[in-house]
Chains A and B, each alone.
Chain A
Amino acid sequence: MSNTALPRLCARFFRHAGPAIASVSALILGWEAYVQLSGISPTALPAPSRIIAQGFEQREALARHTIATLQATTFGFASSLTAAFLFSILIDFFRSLRRALFPVFIITQTLPLVAIAPLIVLWFGFGLPPKIVLVALVTFFPMLVALAQGYEATDRNISALLASMGASRWRIFVMARLPSALPYFFAGLRISITYAVVGAIFAEYAGAARGLGIYILNAKNNFRPDLVLAAVFVSATLTLLLFGATVLLQRAAMPWARLTEARP
C-alpha cells in the first residue's frame, strides 16, 4: 500500500459512515442529557453512561451469553441456508413440487413466534436444537424465495446459447442459473442474517440455559433495565457485524459487480 492510500481510505470511510456516526452520537448524547437533567429513576430509564459502565462490569457474563447466541444463530442459519439451497434446486427442476410446497412454506411464515417459540422449546428442550429450529423457521423462506427468484432472473439468451452448445439442463443450471442468482442470494442473505439473530434471541427468551435472550429475561425480572439495554446493545452490534460480513462476502464473491467500463 502506498503512503497516500491509507489516508484516502480513511477519508472515504468517514465520507460514507460520517452521517451515521453523527446521528447515532446525537441520539446517545440527547438521551444522556435527558436522563441527567430530568432526574428520572435509573430503574425506569438508565443513562447510556450507566448502561456502558454496568455492561462493562458484566462483560464476562455478557460474553458467555453472546457466544451462546452466536452459536445458535450460526448453526440455525447454516442449516436454513443448506435446506433453502437444496429445496431451491428441487423446485427449479420440478415445477409441480413448487406448487405443492410453496403454500406449506408460506404457512410457516404466518405462525406467530410468540406462540410457536415456547412450543418448540417444549418439544426440543433447553439446549441448542430449539434455537436452530426457530432460526431456520424465520430465515428459510426468505432465502428460498431469493434463490428461486434469482434463478428466474437468468438471461434467456444465455440459456439459449448454452442449449445450442449442447449443455444439459443441469449444466445450464450450474453455469448460468446459479451465478445469475448471486445478487438475489446476497440480498436475501443480508435480510435473513438480521432475522436470524432476532430469532435466536426469541428462542432463548422462551427458555434456555444460556444466551442473550435468557440474559435479557433475567435482567428484566431483576429490575435491571441497564443490563437489558446492555444486552440489546451487544445483540445490535452482533447483527451489524454479521451484516457487514455478508457485504464483504458479496464483494469477494462478485468482483465484477463493482466494476465499470475500462478505457483501453
Chain B
Amino acid sequence: MAELPEELKERFDREVNSQPVMIYMKGTPEFPMCGYSQRAAQCFQSLGVPVGHVNVLMDPEAWEGVKLYSDWPTIPQIFIGGEFVGGSSIVMEMLESGELEAKVNAAKEKAQSESTTA
C-alpha cells in the first residue's frame, strides 16, 4: 500500500471522529500486546477517560493504512477529537504537562455540543 485508498480514508475520517479519544494499538486497552500501546492506553485510563480502539493486530488493513493516513510510521497512534496527536511518547509528555486532560475535555465538550445540536 503506497497510497491510501479513498474508502480507507473515509473509514478513518469516520472512525477518529466517532469517539473523543481513538487509539490504533496492538491489542486492546484491557489486553495490550505491546508496552508502548499499553502506556498510551494507560494515560487515558489514569484520567478516567474511556477510549475507542482499533486492534491493528486483528486488522492488517488499518495497521498499514493508518500510517499513511496520519503520515506517522509507528503504532500506537492517538487521535483526540478527530485530530492526530502523536504516539505514546508525545501522549505521555502531554499527560505530565496537563495538556492531555485539557485536550480530552475540549473534545468531549465538542462531541456533546454536536450531539445536542444535531
Bound together: no
Q: Which residues on B are within 8 Å of A, measured CB to CB?
A: none
